[in-house]
Amino acid sequence: MLGALAVAAASLLLLSATGITAQGAKYTIKTGKVDIPKELKPAVAVLFAPEAVQLLDGSGAVVCDVWLRKEVPADATPEQLKNGLTYRELKETSVLGAVRFHQAWTDYRKQKVKPGVYTLRLAFQPEDGDHAGSSMFKEFCLLVAADKDIKPEAVEPKAAHEMSMKSIDTGHPAVFMLFPVPKAPAAPQLEAKENNHWVLNARENVLVNGQKGVIGVGLTLVGHAPE
């Protein structure tokens, strides 16, 4: 417990002093340099730069640190790159980021997530009829515990789902819904949406056949699926 508090305190010292707050906000974010977690496998850790976004709760306590990947490979046409990429142009199960939860949390399905370090892999909701109406959007990030995610490449969706289930010891992957972000922001923003959804909107670099581009990522850090 003392070790976790020390890490959180050290992270706070490294972060910039300015938080981004919505009117009457319960949560805020801070951005700045935070060391890449040592829990990540070396082959995965190199995907990230030590620039993180930190989510703070209303009391100022650290909820989590989020690192976005330096560059995400995409399979898209030049026209799609010009007009703006969507999540569907990215390869399913690609690593989009990493997160360290400093306190116990819950995913979009209200499943318990223990404090620790996880990767964030892109997932698409299965078209099997079992998930109809379960969320506003069909794109998610899967949580995979750092010790279970050993390589940076995309994997088979079934394998990613299994890794995620084992990461939280449940029969369903740990998921955090992605909102579409048509225009990638210049700097990370925390947006308060209806039904107590708090979404981290950020810009992520993309590489398409040697051409560089960007995509807006809207990661729901707070919020749950309808009952």
| 128 occurs within a structural domain | yes
Nearest alpha carbon to residue 206 among 104, 90, 38, 102: 90
Residue pLDDT, tens place only, 158-204: 999 999 999 999 999 999 999 999 999 999 999 999 999 999 999 99
Mean pLDDT over all residues of the chain? 88
User: What values do phi and psi take at 134, rounded to 5?
Assistant: -80, -15
Distance of alpha carbon 214 from alpha carbon 51, whole angstroms: 17
Nearest alpha carbon to residue 113 among 57, 170, 37, 30: 170
User: Tokens 């980021």 map to which residue?
Assistant: 97
Q: How many domains does the chain have?
A: 1
Range of the domain at 122: 2-11+26-222
| Residue 134 banded pLDDT, cuts 50, 70, 90 | low
| 16 occurs within a structural domain | no
| 17 occurs within a structural domain | no
End-to-end CA distance of the chain: give it in Å, rounded. Answer: 33
E strand residue ranges, 91-223: 95-101, 105-106, 112-113, 116-124, 139-145, 175-181, 189-193, 197-208, 211-222
Residue 128 is predicted with a pLDDT of 58
Residue 35 is predicted with a pLDDT of 96
| 50 occurs within a structural domain | yes
| Residue 50 banded pLDDT, cuts 50, 70, 90 | very high
| 191 occurs within a structural domain | yes
Enumerate the H helices of 127-202 as residue ranges.
157-168
| 122 occurs within a structural domain | yes
Position 10 pLDDT exceeds 80? no
| 21 occurs within a structural domain | no
| 55 occurs within a structural domain | yes
